[in-house]
Amino acid sequence: MSEPRTELSSLGEFGLIEHLTRNIELQNASSILGVGDDAAVIDHFGKQTVVSTDLLLEGIHFDLAYTPLKHLGYKSVIVNISDIYAMNATPTQIVISIGLSNRFSLESLDEFYEGVYAACEKYGVDLVGGDTTSSQKGFIISVTAIGEVAPDKFVKRSTAKKGDLICVSGDLGGAYVGLLYLEREKRIFMESPGVQPDLENQTYVIGRLLKPEARKDIIEFLAQAEIQPSAMMDISDGLSSEILHICKDSGLGCRLYEEKLPVSEEMRMAAFKFEIDPTACALSGGEDYELLFTISQEEHDKLVLNEQISVIGYMTDADQGSAIITKGGGQHPITAQGWNHLAQ
């Protein structure tokens, strides 16, 4: 028996918007006016407003062959609010615009929005607007996140200081090896559709790719511990590329220690299976959405309370360059594709 399928054309554009937004209950006092007018109205009551946007295109940023729509909706919100947290701000609202072909049914769009609303609820964010349009081919998603921060408490990439400690949350490289598994299974499926996927025991790394979380907990911890990072960003493209941004924008260099890079056991085992270096995955694997930040050395003692934060190196003068000290004591320059020279 096939699943029920309601054509989007049977609702019309306004019926569809009405359907998708019918259950919204605004959670934030700053959301003065939500969906239903020409624009939303937001008042952050003396705080500063932080805005970030991302465009996600089918075939470029996601593959519907192995991405459940509910996960995609969730992740579309997460990747945006992660940018707001990376400014040391709190996300409060999102607007979401979608382009759809008639390949999508109302039921599949409902699944996507289930993920969107699950993320909104978990992170206390209001969906206050969007746009809905048809697309000839492919699913297009644009999410804009809005957040608030106490005046001048936002944290830029360009303000790290020499001697500052480099810190990272969670563990790295998991999403990348999760992607390797899913790409491999997709290839096998295309070649022989009858073969069952072999993804057992890979739930952690696949979850890292398909259902990432934003590090709200880290921002709350930093505020509570009264740590004001000197620079911060989230890791969407991979640690080596992101630390180079902080170095360049701050006019500094850095030293990272391979042995300090946080990696999960699941990621290490998976990397060995694919015969790649786990350090390479931690340095260059993207999409983990962890936070990378620098703090002054005096604040080091306050970090011991949080096992989710690893100190992985320190900032140097620019003329020292940017390098990683390997477990064997060697030193390698960090490059944006840092893993080629480390590959075994």
Q: Which two tokens stand for residue 97?
A: 């615009």
Distance CA 55, CA 141 (A): 6
Q: How far is CA 337 from the centre of its chain?
A: 19
**Residue written as tokens 């109205």?**
41
Considering only residues 3, 38, 152, 301, which one is a binding residue for ligand ADP as defined by CB under 6 A?
Answer: 38
Angle, helices 106-123/69-85, rounded to nearest 10 degrees? 30
Q: Which does 84 bind (CB under 5 to 8 A by kind): ligand ADP, Mg ion, none?
A: none
Q: Closer CB to Mg ion, residue 89 or residue 94?
A: 94
With contacts defined by CB under 6 A, name the span among 33-41, 76-84, 252-260, 329-337 that binds ligand ADP. Answer: 33-41
Distance CA 135, CA 143 (A): 17
With contacts defined by CB under 5 A, name the span among 128-136, 204-212, 231-239, 264-272 that binds Mg ion. Answer: 128-136
Cα–Cα distances (Å) from 189 to 151, 175, 247, in that order, read: 53, 21, 43
With contacts defined by CB under 5 A, name the span among 124-132, 149-157, 270-278, 330-338 that binds Mg ion. Answer: 124-132
With contacts defined by CB under 5 A, name the span among 85-93, 117-125, 129-137, 289-297 that binds Mg ion. Answer: 129-137
| 282-311: contacts with Mg ion (CB under 5 A) | none
Does the footprint of ligand ADP cover residue 129 (CB under 6 A)? yes
Distance CA 324, CA 198 (A): 35
CB of 206 to Mg ion, least distance (A): 35
Under 8 Å between Cβ of 305 and 159: no
Cα–Cα distances (Å) from 21 to 25, 132, 146, in that order, read: 9, 12, 18
Under 8 Å between Cβ of 80 and 54: yes
Q: How far is CA 182 from the centre of its chain?
A: 18
With contacts defined by CB under 6 A, name the span among 2-10, 29-37, 235-243, 289-297 that binds ligand ADP. Answer: 29-37
CB of 99 to Mg ion, least distance (A): 12
**Residue written as tokens 């360009």?**
158
| 295-334: contacts with ligand ADP (CB under 6 A) | none
Q: Closer CB to ligand ADP, residue 96 or residue 271?
A: 96
Distance CA 212, CA 170 (A): 12
Q: Closer CB to ligand ADP, residue 62 or residue 176?
A: 62
Beta strands in the chain (DSSP E): 31-33, 41-42, 48-57, 90-100, 126-134, 140-149, 165-169, 231-235, 252-257, 290-295, 309-317, 322-325, 331-333
Does the footprint of ligand ADP cover residue 21 (CB under 6 A)? yes
CB of 104 to ligand ADP, least distance (A): 12
Provide the 8-state DSSP code for 225.
T
Beta strands in 58-194 (DSSP E): 90-100, 126-134, 140-149, 165-169
**Residue written as tokens 């360049």?**
248
Does the footprint of Mg ion cover residue 183 (CB under 5 A)? no
With contacts defined by CB under 6 A, name the span among 69-77, 124-132, 209-217, 242-250 that binds ligand ADP. Answer: 124-132
Considering only residues 131, 183, 198, 265, which one is a binding residue for Mg ion as defined by CB under 5 A?
Answer: 131
CB of 35 to ligand ADP, least distance (A): 4
Distance CA 184, CA 205 (A): 14
Does the footprint of ligand ADP cover residue 96 (CB under 6 A)? yes
Q: Closer CB to ligand ADP, residue 141 or residue 222?
A: 141
Does the footprint of ligand ADP cover residue 17 (CB under 6 A)? yes
CB of 37 to ligand ADP, least distance (A): 6
Does the footprint of Mg ion cover residue 18 (CB under 5 A)? no
CB of 61 to ligand ADP, least distance (A): 18
Summarize as ranges the residues that interact with ligand ADP (CB under 6 A): 17, 20-21, 35-38, 96, 98, 127, 129-132
Summarize as ranges the residues that interact with Mg ion (CB under 5 A): 131
